[in-house]
Structure formats: structure tokens, C-alpha cells
Structure 1
Amino acid sequence: MEYTDTRDGSVRTDLKTAVLSGMNPATGGLYIPVRIPRLDDALLNKCYGPSFRDVAFETAKLYCADEIPDSDLQEIIADCYPFNAPVVPVDPVTYILELFHGPTCAFKDFGARFMARLMAYFNREEKKPLHILVATSGDTGSAVGSAFSGVEGINVTILYPKGKISYLQEKQLSTFTGNVRSLAVEGNFDDCQRLVKTAFTDTALRKKFRLSSANSINIARLLPQSFYYVYAALSVKCRSLHDNKIENPSIIAIVPSGNFGNLTSGLIAQKMGAPITGFVAATNVNKTVPDWLASGRYEPRESKSTLSNAMDVGAPSNHERITAMYTRDELKQFVASYWTDDEGTLEGIASCHERTGYIIDPHGAVGWQAWYNIRKGAMLKLMSGFPNSSENPGLTANIPFWAQSILDNKAVGIVLETAHPAKFGETVKRATGREPAIPDRLEKILNLPDRSVSIKNDYAEFSKWLQKNLSGY
């Protein structure tokens, strides 16, 4: 399998190089497969849902061909995923894909654990340590820190926006020790991301240290997120007729979206043959991509703080990958986009709980709100010639080809629940009157000491800190 660069299509490299370098230091471009391979029909046409590990292995081996023997890859998959991704029906046409059963209670565990083990595998013969730099808007950092904790030969530096993530999220980030450290940046997520990207293109720094990334900039974080799309879509395909008496429904994935890595993984899964008809990119007031789909103008902007903080991204990195795969006009054929504000997020948490009994986190709630509104009149209004203004929360004014299946009651939705609601207990209680129980694996970190270091939003200061602190490793 060959990989190329979003900014230079003539580039050809292998998976090891793409993973260990994170992004192309010569261009600042992101790595993508030269072609998206198709899954075996034997897997896609099974009359019963395959296991998650089977899906993960069958998907991963297509990207690791010739670089990782199947036996080694099976061991990596088994080590990565002692947990599952349950597909939970909450009403006749809605499923919740629970992605919070990993060690840090967020969907980032699926990508981070695979990436950590892949990096360790490729790095095992290197003498110089590999230094991972990662910017996080909430859950990425803790998943990466957990995945790499104690991994020999690899050190991790996590940058997060000081005071702009939940208390429990910050405790997860600020309590790491050993080879994992965190920096609290006086700025927003986009500032953190700029610092990291600048470091990757800093020739002097890269000559001194081996650097790589661990958020969805890195292809090894992105590809494994396609595993759960394939798994969920095949599971719903197998059970849908029994659940809702709809034969061959349109399967729509509703994706809470910030840096748009999760949606990109879904697009990859669809290209591989996963039976996903279309997508809803659901986000908060940081609606750069919905605005681009509506107007054709891509205008990055400063991110705004919201209750769904992991989606507070004003300049999403993976827009570059998405546009390397599809034109805007192509995307509009099968991707609907939706945005809401904090009031809508709270309404989504309350609505989901009241109508189904399910307690959903603020990010999943944005997805729930999108799907519920689409079914309850928003798509009909749009198709009747009354598009929503881009200034108001709601659907972007484009009609995907699957829109008629909504009106005909021939569609089912998979809402991605990206984090455990306990990570946002105060917000959930505000919406529902109930505070979700905290899993043991989260509760135990509450009494650990904070160890993060505060820095200004200044590359010179960040570079100085790196040169001082990485040199000892």
C-alpha cells in the first residue's frame, strides 16, 4: 500500500514513513492512501454481524500489507481492543454507536491505541527516541497519553487550551507522568494546533529531534476509526429488518464533528464498501465546514468555546484530506451538514433522555439533535423549497440524494456517541436533572496531583520548552 500527500500528489511513501513522520515536513501536507482498498465481499455480505476484532483485522491488513505480517497484526489488534463498540437501539430507526468503552471513555481510544502500537512496532529498531506532539480540544490528549504511557522509545507532549475543557478532561491530561507530559496553552485549540504544526515544519527542530503527531493529522489515528464505521454499518444492516421492518434501509451516520477526522474516517469506510448511504456532519457554532458546504468559501476562523468543547475547532485540519478525496459538489450529494448552539445542545441531551431514556453526552447530543430535527420536519422543509439560513442553527441548504428516504421512512440513523456523559456531568445534569455515574477508571484520577505546565501562545516559548525538555530523552 502506497501513501501520498494532500499537497503533492507525486509523493509516494510507505506506511512506516507516513506514521513515524506524522505529516510531510517538506510540504506540511497530510498523508492519505493513494487508493482506498475495498473490503472482501465475504465480510461485507455476511448474514450476521461480524465481531469488532474481525472487522478491525480485515480492515487494517489492507493498509498494512507488505509491512506487517498478519500474525503480528492480529496480536496488535487483540492488544488494542479488549473493549467493544456496542450498537444500541434507542428507537425504531435510531442506533447509538457507543465509542466510550475504552480506558479514557472517549472514541479517541480506538485510534490512539492502534496508532501507539503501530508506532512502537515501527520504532522498535530505532536508537533515537521518537517525540510525539499532539494538540487536543479535549479527548484526544488523554487517549494518546494513555495509549503511549510506558511505551519504550516514545515520548509524548500534549498541548491543550487552558481553561477551555471540562474539569474531568483536564484532570485526565494533567496527571500523566513518565514519558507523557502536558502543556496548558493560554489560547484555544486552534492555537495549540498551530504550535504543533509549526514545530513539524521547523527544520532546525526536526534536525535535532525525531518528531511525529498523534491526533488525526497522523494517518495511523485516522484509519482505525474506520473500523467502527464498518462494524456498526454491518451490524445495523444485519439487524435492521428485525428492528424496524425496513428492508434495505438507507443507513445514515450522524457524526459529531470538530477537526473532521471522524467524518474523514467514515468517508474512508464508505469507500471501502461499508453499507453507509450517507452522512450528517453535525457541529456546534464552530461551523467552518457547514458554511463551506453552503457557500463554497472555506474561511477558517478563531474557535469559540461551547458545551461540546471537543468540537471547538475553527480551522479543521482534515478539511484538507476531505477535499483531497472529494470535490465540494460530490460531497453535497451524500453529506448533509447541521450545526447548533449551546441551547440546542442542552435541548438535544434533554430530548434524547425524555424520548428514549438514554443519557447522551454534549457531543453525541449535537448528533442526536441533527438526526431528530431531520426526521421531524427539517428535511421536508428543505426539500419543499424553504432552506434554512446559514445564520440560524439547523441544516445547511443542500439536499443529499438520500433525502427522499427520510420522507419515505426508509432510513435509519447511527448517532456516534463519542464520549461518556460522566465527562460532562455538570452539563448533563443541567439538561436532565440527573448527574451520570462516573466509571471507576475516571473516578480514580480525581485525586491525582496536577502536573501540567502553563505556557503562552507563543512559538518561540514553545520551541524553547521543547529544546530544553526533550533533550534529556
Structure 2
Amino acid sequence: MKLYNIKENDEQVSFGQAVRQGLGRNQGLFFPSNLPKFDDIDALLAEDFVSRSTKVLSALIGDELPAEQVNALVDAAFQFPAPIKQVKDGVYALELFHGPTLAFKDFGGRFMAQSLAAVSDGGKITILTATSGDTGAAVAHAFYGMEDINVVILYPKGKISPLQEKLFCTLGKNIHTVAIDGDFDACQALVKQAFDDQVLREEIGLNSANSINISRLMAQICYYFEAASQLSKAQRENLVISVPSGNFGNLTAGLLAKALGLPIKRFIAATNANDTVPRYLETGKWEPKPTVATTSNAMDVSQPNNWPRIEELCRIKEWGLETLGKGAVSDEQSAESVKALNALGYLCEPHGAIAYRVLEEQLAEGETGLFLCTAHPAKFKEVVDDILGSDIELPGPLAKHAVMELLSEDLANDFDALKAVLRRVQ
């Protein structure tokens, strides 16, 4: 598999290099030089999740890793299902929260951990990543206890849910969590600064587990195929998918699935009040505003990292950006949708509810709608309980970590302070 740097096309790397390196020069994202296309989609969808995912990922990776090894990586990473649930006639929820940290990031985080171990050259590695909530837990649990890998996770202090924080800030060992005095975009900017510091990169073996890492993104492609496999042929030929979008890795993966041959009619990018992309699709002007805190905090991103990959894919495939659906939803509207879904007998949290609302507004007669539920409702217990007047029971992983002591340290939004932390944890 060959990948190129979107910003500096002359930088071309292998899959292994891209996984180890994370970002290219000038903070450029890596993108596949060639995208295979599956012709017999029906036969592919008839296979089981692991076997199908192995074929999808092997086609992307090429002969760099043998199929048997890819199968072993997938089998170790995807040890939980991605079921769809019917909410009402013609509308389905794709539940991506059945992994160990109850969020869709488990798929990418675990596959990246397996991939990095497979392509590692044996040196020490420091994983530096920023999280707006769910990435932190998925990465922390995926890499917990792995030898020669230290993980440093930055998150915006006071701007993620208490249960999200507990799930990854209570582990210790090789997992180091840092509460930054700022928003997610500030955390993400610090990560980018670190990658721009060549001396630091080489000194600590810097890598990232954000969706900027191609292995995480590739893993997410697989659950779009899994969702389609659970629908009838007629349903998937007229399928519209609504994706709750923050950093836009999830939507990028879906569009890549379509590029590989999955017959998805169209996608909808659903955001909260941090609506940089919907406004851009409307006006053609990229005008990020300061990030605002919402009840769907995992989407509190005003400068989404993965957007350049979407533009690159649309350029290559000659898909007009105007074909993307879009919509921005307020906290009040997402709360209304949580209530509406609950009335239909489906318990959902704000991120999934946002995707559902925009899907409902834009789904045409005769289309099948699918919206992504990216986290278990209990991860946002305070918000959901407040909306519904309920008392959601905590699943095992949350109940276990809820009573544990936080191990995070607070840090100013200062790159020199972060460098000191990165060097100290070696």
C-alpha cells in the first residue's frame, strides 16, 4: 500500500510508515494512492464481519502484510458486534458502542494498536493524541499495558462528560492523561505542534492515535460494510447514512467505503452548533468560529482534521461536495430528538440523536435511512437522565471506572509545558 501526503504529494510512504509516522510533512494527512473497488459486493456482504473486514483491509494494504496476518489483526481488534436496530419503518440505528469503552472509537483504536505492534521496528514509541471524549478511552484501553509504548492523551479540562473522563483517566501504567486549559481545538493544535518539532519526534518516537492515523480510519470503513450486510439488497441500494460529525473521520471512512464499491446513495454530515462544515458546504467559505461547548461534546470541534481527506476523495472520484447532505442541530433540538427516539422505544444519547434528526429532515420517500449511534447512552448519563427524567444503569465498564480515582494532571495551553511532560513520561 502506498500513501501520499495530501499537502506535499512528493512524500510517499508505505502502510507501515504511515502507521508509525501518523502525520506527514507540514502536518499533511496521508491518503491512499490507489483505491481498489470490489465488484461482487453481494458476495462480500454475505461473509462474516471478520472475514469480510480482512478482505477489505487486505485489498487496501496490498502485499505489505499477508492476508493471514491481517486476519489475525482484525480478529484481535473486532471482538464485538456492530448491530443495526430498527427504530421505525425505513429507519435504522447502527450501534457502534458494544466494544470495551462503549464507543465507536474502539474499532479504530484497537486495530491501530494491533497494526502498530505488527509494523513496529522495535524502538520506543510515544503515542500523543487529543480527545473530545471517546477517542481517549478507546486508545487508552487499546494500548494499556503494551511494552515500549507510552500514551499521552490530551483533553479539554471540564469539557468532556465525567464518565468519559473516568473511563480513560483512571488506568495509570503506560497511560498518561493531561487536562488542558482550553478546548479540543487547542488540544489538537498542541498535538500538531509536537509533530512539527522534528527533534522531539525523533527523541521520543512520536506517533498519534487520532483519526489522522490511517490505520484507525481504515478500520472504520469495515463497519459500514457490516451495516449494509444486515439490510436487504433492495434497502442498501437506496441507502442514506447520517453521520454525527466532529473531527470528520467517521464520515471520511464512510465515503471511502462508498469508493470501494459499497452502494450508498448519499451521506449526511450532521453537526452540533460547531457547524464549520455545514456553513462551508452552504457558502463555499471556510470560516471556523471559536468552539462552543455543547451536550454532544465529542463533536465540539470547529476545525475538523479529516476534512482535507474528504475534499481529496471527492476530487479523485469527481463527486461534487454539493452531493453531501448537511445539517447543524442545537442542544435544544438534540434533546427533542432524544425524547422522540425514546418515545419510539429507542434509548439514544445526543450525538446519535443529532444524526437521527437531520436524517429525518432529509430522508425522501422510498429511501432507507441509517444513523450512527457512536456511544452508549450511559456515557452521557447526566445529560440523558436530565432530558428524560431517567436513571440509566451504568454498564460494567463504566460502573467499574466510575468509583476509581482520576490520575490526570492539569496543564496550561502551552507547548513547552507539554514537551516537558512528553520527555518526563519516557
- TM-score bucket (shorter structure): over 0.9
Separation of aligned partners in 2, 1:89 and 1:361: 16
Matches within 5 A, 1:321-336: 321-327=309-315, 330-336=319-325
Matched residue of 1:66: which SS? helix
Please state how far the C-alpha of 1:431 moved relative to its aligned partner.
2.0
Would you say 1:466 and 2:425 are equivalent positions?
A: no
The answer to whether 1:349 aligns with 2:338 is: yes
Write the distance in 1 (CA, Å) between the matches of 2:168 and 2:188. 16
CA RMSD of aligned residues (A): 1.6
Q: Could you say what secondary structure the match of 1:65 adopts?
A: helix
Measure how far apart 1:333 and its partner are. Answer: 4.2
Runs of 4+ displaced beyond 6 Å: none
1:115 to 112, 126, 148: 112
In structure 2, the CA distance between the partners of 1:294 and 1:286, relative to structure 1 (3 Å rule), is same
- CA deviations 1:320-367 (Å, max 9, x no partner) are 11112225993434310011110011011001111x200011100001
- What is the distance in 2 between the residues matched to 1:428 and 1:46? 40
User: Contact 2:44/2:52 (CA < 8 Å) preserved in 1?
Assistant: no
**Equivalent of residue 52 in structure 1, options 49, 52, 64:** 49
Q: Which residue of 2 aligns with 1:367?
A: 355
Structure 2 residue aligned with 1:65 = 62
Q: Matched residues in 2 for 1:208 and 1:45: separation?
A: 48
> For residue 37 of structure 1, what is the amino acid of its counterpart?
P
Secondary structure at the residue paired with 1:27?
Answer: helix
Which residue number in structure 1 is paired with residue 287 of structure 2?
299
Cα drift, residue 211 of structure 1: 0.6
- Given that 1:94 and 1:413 are in contact with CA atoms closer than 8 Å, whether structure 2 keeps it comes out as yes
* Correspondence list, 1:146-157, <5 A: 146-157=141-152
Matches of 1:271 and 1:146 in 2, distance apart?
A: 31
Letter in 2 for 1:107: F
- The answer to whether 1:438 aligns with 2:394 is yes
Secondary structure, counterpart of 1:45 in structure 2 = helix
- Deviation of 1:150 after TM superposition, in Å, equals 1.1
Aligned to 2:82: 85
Match of 2:265 among 277, 280, 290: 277
* Counterpart-to-counterpart distance in 1, 2:261 and 2:392: 37
**Counterpart Cα distance in 1 of 2:46 and 2:93:** 16
2-structure distance, mates of 1:442, 1:49: 34
Counterpart amino acid of residue 290 in structure 2: E
SS at match of 2:319: helix
- Find the residue that maps to 1:146 and give its secondary structure: helix
Distance change (3 Å), C-alpha of 1:94 and 1:232: same
- Distance in 2, matches of 1:47 and 1:59, equals 9
Counterpart AA for 1:165: I
Shift of 1:229: 0.7
- 1:27 corresponds to 2:35: no
Unaligned runs of 5+ in 2: none
Letter in 2 for 1:202: D
Counterparts of 1:88 and 1:314, CA distance in 2? 31
SS in 1 for 2:154: strand
In 2, Cα distance between equivalents of 1:173 and 1:265: 25
Partner of 2:277: 289
5 Å matches for 1:250-265?
250-265=238-253
Shift in Å, 1:207: 3.0
- Residue in structure 2 matched with residue 380 of structure 1 by the alignment: none
Whether the 8 Å CA contact 1:30–1:321 is kept in 2: the answer is yes
For residue 33 of structure 1, report the CA deviation from its aligned partner.
0.3
Report the counterpart of residue 228 of structure 1 in structure 2. 223
What is the alpha-carbon distance in structure 2 between the residues aligned to residue 249 and residue 118 of structure 1?
33
Paired AA for residue 176 in structure 2: R
Question: 1-side partners of 2:58 and 2:386: how far apart?
Answer: 45
Contact residue 200 and residue 206 of structure 1 kept, 8 A: yes
**Residue identity opposite 1:359 in structure 2:** L
Contact 1:49 1:238 in 2 (8 A): no
Structure 1 residue 55 displacement after superposition: 2.1
> Do the aligned residues in 1 keep the contact of 2:243 with 2:269 (CA within 8 Å)?
yes
TM-score scaled by structure 2? 0.96
Match of 2:9 in 1: 9
Conserved 8 A contact 1:161-1:185: yes
Q: Amino acid of the residue matched to residue 87 of structure 1?
A: I
Shift of 1:27: 2.1
Deviation of 1:234 after TM superposition, in Å, equals 3.1
Q: Look at both structures and tell me which one has the larger radius of gyration over its CA atoms.
A: 1
Where in structure 1 are there 5+ consecutive unaligned residues? 241-247, 376-405
1:50–1:231 Cα contact (<8 Å) kept: no
Distance 1:327 1:337 in 2: 19
Give 1:97-176 correspondences, 5 Å limit: 97-123=94-120, 125-126=121-122, 128-176=123-171
Contact 2:51–2:71 (CA<8 Å) still a contact in 1?
no
Partner Cα separation in structure 2 for residue 105 and residue 239 of structure 1: 31
CA deviation string 1:273-311 (max 9, x = no partner)? 111110010010000000110010112232110000000
Alignment correspondent of 2:384: 428
Q: Tell me which residue corresponds to 1:398.
A: none
**Letter of the structure 2 residue corresponding to residue 35 of structure 1:** N
Q: Secondary structure at the match of 2:256?
A: helix
Aligned-pair CA distance for 1:58: 1.2
- 1:464 shift after superposition: 1.9
3-state SS in 2 of match to 1:303: coil
Cα separation, 2, equivalents of 1:345 and 1:454: 31
Q: CA deviation at 1:47?
A: 9.4
